[in-house]
Amino acid sequence: MSMANNNKSRFFFFFLVLVLWCVSSFGLGRVPFACDPKNGLTRSLKFCRTNVPIHVRVQDLIGRLTLPEKIRLVVNNAIAVPRLGIQGYEWWSEALHGVSNVGPGTKFGGAFPGATSFPQVITTAASFNQSLWREIGRVVSDEARAMYNGGMAGLTYWSPNVNIFRDPRWGRGQETPGEDPIVASKYAANYVRGLQGDGAGNRLKVAACCKHYTAYDLDNWKGIDRFHFNAKVSKQDLADTYDVPFRACVVDGGVASVMCSYNQVNGKPTCADPDLLRNTIRGQWKLNGYIVSDCDSVGVMYNTQHYTQTPEEAAADAIKAGLDLDCGPFLALHAADAIKLGRISENDLNLALANLLTVQMRLGMFDGEPSAQPYGHLGPRDVCTPAHQQLALEAARQGIVLLQNKGNTLPLSRARHRTVAVIGPNSDVTTTMIGNYAGVACGYTSPLRGIARYVKTVHHTGCRDVMCKGNQVFGAAEIAARHADATVLVVGLDQSIEAEFRDRVGLLLPGSQQELVSKVARASKGPVVLVIMSGGPVDVTFAKNDPKIGAILWVGYPGQAGGTAIADVLFGTTNPGGKLPMTWYPQEYVAKVPMTVMDMRPNPARGYPGRTYRFYKGPVVFPFGHGLSYTRFRHTLALAPKQVSVPLASLQALTNSSSVSSNALKVSHANCDSLELGLHVDVKNEGKMDGTHTVLVYSKPPSGKWSDTKQLVGFHKVHVPAGSKQRVKVGVHVCDHLSVVDEFGVRRIPMGDHELHIGDLKHSISVQTSQEIKP
């Protein structure tokens, strides 16, 4: 071997070693870490000792910080403290339905070109599958940890959004689990637990954040924006609807953070309201974590809402209310002067900082070498894995809702429908499918590409985009439909129509899309399928009534694998099992209801119809919970209690006149332990195709003062092979699910017969107290 070849071999060897080292270290992007055992300056400091209790470590670290350092640590872009070996940290990262680069804490590139992009939350909510929600959270946190190990992301993710989808025009409704408090609560708890890990030893895999607390569901409607909006909310609606998912986040999900919102509630900015933050989130619900502002909302409080006369008062009000972290520079600019003026003390700042540092220590950020910690092995090979991408596909399949299927138009047949015209502004989209608060997907399969895997396609968009201004190119789309064996129209919305800071004015398809659908359907030779891609509901009454349109699918924003999932449903590889997580209203509804009215319940005297399926009883396009299948399911109630006795929490409740009002017991005066009822339901698949079915259990309280409106109290997803039967158990907790909220915001359990509805089945449960309460 020549010397030149020998040198080349040595060079190649050292280059290979270097590459392997880089790969094993997940790239050179990792920033230095706190409590490095090789750092002699910090090695002996108490806050770096993992065998010391976290609260002791936190107090030790706070005691070493100067006031200027503390102030710069309670904002999202926290500074480095080199003398203590502490690195700067960006708290703001997002993971709504996959690791996102919306916040400055996460970036893509190098060894991490993308991450798995799951369907938008409203689509995943349509699966009604709690285990799926948790599994998505687990996968997202795997990829988040991997990117953190590679120096490309943080560990604090300001997700999920669990606001109630109160108004169908809300541009951010797509980010939520829908309009029902129970569904939103179950989603919140499961996704949070998936993200944060099993919680062993109070540890966190990543720190989730439930937002936006509270009564936030208006961004920008007819000139009224979230920065100026004062949500006037009754105590009843706050306790019965708006706060329910947030309580579940904290109590059931153990979330590490809650974000307060921009808007005011009853005249007070949420981020400056001690009743909401200190008394409720941290006091009643026992938050084990930190409270963060929505970005710049402390500044908005002073600069836009003019809630205080000085910036120092705004800073002080937020901290005294219970805010720990400011997303924005406001506290960094004004906290020092607020302390000088005596508005707050340094100890107030210490309390906020303690909550922040505790979460960071639970994440292991002060435990030394990251690769030696739990999840330290995760790296580039754990992002966009085949298993993760398969889960994204499965989530998209489960979230698709079959709204209409006249004459069994679907599934299409590859033998009979050999050429399919694929038409519409969303027929070949990619990034549209991932909605907002998304990252960079691993890859995309558009609806056109998905359908092309099954049959020959003829494609025409019909419109240049979803705005669909004009009908100049409809002719080519009509010709394509006239010669194809079947036609699939993919229409709907995108982020130019509904998004953050962009609420809709109406519910109809934008521009000339309706005209496109009608003309193409009229021209089509074969069956016509309408596919609606959107976050919010769309009034497609015209399509329901069009005899040429056989089937209608809603696919939400189905994520990176959306096109594959759509095609699988169209051709019967997947039997659709999704159900709508929100009501689809007619256009006439929004003409009667200003977005600014927060009341959930109807007011006939004002002509106000109420909101969501729980309170609105008018005409709908498609109801909440609606969703068809290619097979038939039948319910049989196998086992259910007929009565339940509610024990009292204490002897004092026996003589407390406020315990019972309108024949309803205060939940706070009941002993709620062991009051979960098990409903055993047999689900039989009477068709010829395997399918999944969601058992929805609704409850009506006893007649009288309490509303007789039925509302969801439990649900369970089950897979049932053709011709077989599966038994499922749905848990219904008396205190949580058979209770109502009175006009004072007090939750009570009505005594008497509660009527449960499961499909066409009805079952009555008599609820009584175990002891007589004396007035």
The set of catalytic residues is 294
The dihedrals phi and psi of 707, each to the nearest 5 degrees, come to -60, 140
Q: What does each C-alpha distance from 95 to 7, 144, 214, 558 come to in angstroms? A: 48, 8, 20, 16
- Gap between the Cα atoms of 165 and 556, Å rounded: 14
Q: What does each C-alpha distance from 325 to 23, 48, 67, 305, 600 come to in angstroms? A: 35, 23, 16, 20, 32
Helix (H) or strand (E) segment spanning residue 16: helix 3-24
What is residue 79's DSSP assignment?
A: P
- Gap between the Cα atoms of 65 and 235, Å rounded: 42
Q: Are 91 and 327 in contact (CB under 8 A)?
A: yes
Q: What does each C-alpha distance from 648 to 236, 670, 678, 771 come to in angstroms? A: 23, 4, 21, 7
Ranges of beta strands (E only) in 401-443 are 401-405, 419-423
- Residue 625 φ/ψ region, left for φ over 0, alpha for ψ in the -120 to 50 degree band, beta for the rest: left
Strand order in the sheet with 528-533: 401-405, 549-554, 528-533, 486-492, 419-423, 456-460
Q: Which of 510, 415, 393, 519 is nearest to 460 (CA)?
A: 519
CB atoms within 10 A of CB 772: 7
**Tokens 């205060």 identify what position?**
666
Type of residue at 41: L
- Gap between the Cα atoms of 567 and 1, Å rounded: 59
Q: Are 66 and 398 in contact (CB under 8 A)?
A: no
Tokens of 532: 């609606």
- Gap between the Cα atoms of 398 and 555, Å rounded: 10
Helix (H) or strand (E) segment spanning residue 327: none
Tokens of 347: 């100890």
Q: Are 98 and 438 in contact (CB under 8 A)?
A: yes
Peptide bond into 214 cis (omega under 30): yes
CB atoms within 10 A of CB 5: 9
What is residue 489's DSSP assignment?
A: E
- Gap between the Cα atoms of 308 and 315, Å rounded: 10
- Gap between the Cα atoms of 531 and 534, Å rounded: 10
**181 CB-near residues (< 8 Å, 6+ apart):** 164, 240, 241, 244, 245
